[in-house]
Homo-oligomer: A and B are copies of this chain.
Amino acid sequence: MSSTSVPKGTRDFLPDQMSGRKFLLNLLEELFQRHAFLPIETPSMEKIDTLLGKYGEEGDRLIFKVLNRGDRLSRALSSICSQSDIAVKETNSLADAALRYDLTIPFARFISQHRNDLHFPFKRYQIQPVWRADRPQKGRYREFVQCDVDIIGSSSILNELELIQITGEAFSSLGLSDVIVKINHRKLLEGIVTETGTNVPFQKITIVLDKWEKIGLEAVKNELSQAGMKEKEIEVLIRYVHQNTSINSIQTLPSNQMIEAGCSELEQILDWADKYCKVKVELDLKLARGLDYYTGIIIEAIHPEFGSSILGGGRYDNLTGMFGLPGVSGVGISFGADRIYDLLSLKRLLPESPFNRKSVLILNLGAEPEWMIRAASLIRESDAVADIYPDESKLKKQMKFANDKGFDFVVFMGAKERSEGTLKIRNMQSGDELELKSDELSTFFKK
């Protein structure tokens, strides 16, 4: 017998989960559309050199590679086997393609490849699964959905504003009004690091700062020290980034070109966000984001009842450079759809019915099939969901089915109704029953 389970870290989605997921993703998609973002999709597989080297050493290890076939595989194996030492590192020759690890690198490749067919500034959204061979744990899967929104080809901070507006609108529509958006600026952070006088590269420092919420201040200090920062430098860095969380106190920072550039954009965004965004936006100078490619404003959204961030993003000035298209500025955010779903589920904010509209089951109690077929058509014409219980069976069994599935109404024609030429409708919630003529069905469900 074949295996009846799925690979580690992957999931089936049953109808109850699907209805919640669709509710969430449709709401986001509809919002992106109203903001003139257009959808794109990229293949699940990319050429392996498109992906390798883009996510650091750890990332390379987590990429799912697709095994070559036929002659290419034979040749690769012969070559591996002829070596005195079988090195797994060399197994890249076994795979020419790999599953995408995120939506960002494929998007950068996409922009570069199709640059002549796109109109810039280009606003796109993309909702597709990504794959990481990570150790599965609660809330961390090997296949999960990313939901990315980017504007590329414009450096105006009106773009940052729009993304924060979308963030606010999304979470308030979802009923998550206590979400907080944290923002910071990579230039401001770099300006501060410059002021410490350290020789440690900025990127190394942001990787440590990014862990602050997770590991705490003391551990951050230790890691900065391990990264090569002197105690004095660490003290200066921490003093600046730890204490300043209001736009006014930014003014007490030392002044250099990068700090000024960062502050000026942050001030503008915080002012606009206050007026035009349906979400609390806070400056957080500790916010660093882990990814190398950010160069401007960085964004993260958190929910007080949830440990990890549920949205992240920022401005990047040269993402497409590695694909031969340098100097195209963009800004984007990524909704953590799986985490947001978990949060909505925890707070019971997802729709309960698996049907997304009024739903009716036609019971099969020995009425003419023709009658049931016509009744179902009439109900569907009124835009409700209609189903016929396909096999004639006991009333009790069919009622249990209606109840288990979450139908709002059942319609039936028993012996009495058949003799009178009527049918009965029962509201499954209230238990109310009503007698109707067949041709009144469509009107009944329209209201």
Contact = CB atoms under 8 A, between A and B. Distances in A.
Interface of A: 1-7, 10-15, 18-19, 22, 33-36, 38-47, 49-50, 53-54, 61, 64-67, 69-70, 73-74, 77-78, 80-81, 86, 88, 91, 94-97, 99, 109-110, 112-114, 117-119, 121, 123-124, 129, 131, 133, 142-143, 151, 154-156, 158-159, 161-162, 165, 272, 275-276, 322-324, 354-357, 359, 361, 369-370, 372-374, 377, 380, 383-391, 401, 404-405
A35 B380 contact: yes
Instruction: Provide the main secondary structure of the chain A interface.
Output: mixed
A57 to B, nearest CB: 14
Task: Give 8 closest A-B pairs by Cβ, nearest first.
Answer: A10-B43, A36-B387, A15-B38, A81-B81, A156-B390, A65-B67, A18-B39, A13-B41
A153 to B, nearest CB: 9
A214 to B, nearest CB: 25
Given A65-B66, A390-B151, A6 B81 contact: no
A44 B359 contact: no
Given A34-B383, A359-B36, A41 B12 contact: yes
A141 to B, nearest CB: 9
Contact of A14 (B64, B112, B118, B151): B118
B385 A44 contact: no
Question: What is the total number of copies of this protein in its complex?
Answer: 2
A12 B40 CA distance: 8
Of A18, A22, A275, the most chain B CB neighbours within 10 A belong to A18
Given A66-B64, A356-B33, A11 B43 contact: yes
A94 B66 contact: no
A389 to B, nearest CB: 8
16 contacts: A1-B324, A3-B49, A4-B109, A5-B47, A6-B47, A11-B43, A12-B42, A19-B39, A34-B383, A43-B143, A67-B67, A70-B88, A119-B405, A154-B390, A156-B391, A272-B369
Given A40-B15, A119-B404, A143-B45, A86 B74 contact: yes
A97 to B, nearest CB: 5
Contacts of A324: 1, 4
Given A77-B86, A377-B276, A390-B151, A39 B15 contact: yes
Nearest to A117: B14
A343 to B, nearest CB: 20
A161 to B, nearest CB: 7
Contacts of A114: 12, 14
A154 B372 CA distance: 16
Contacts of A356: 33
A250 B124 CA distance: 56
Of A7, A22, A86, the most chain B CB neighbours within 10 A belong to A7
Contacts of A74: 86, 88
Contact of A7 (B7, B41, B96, B154): B96
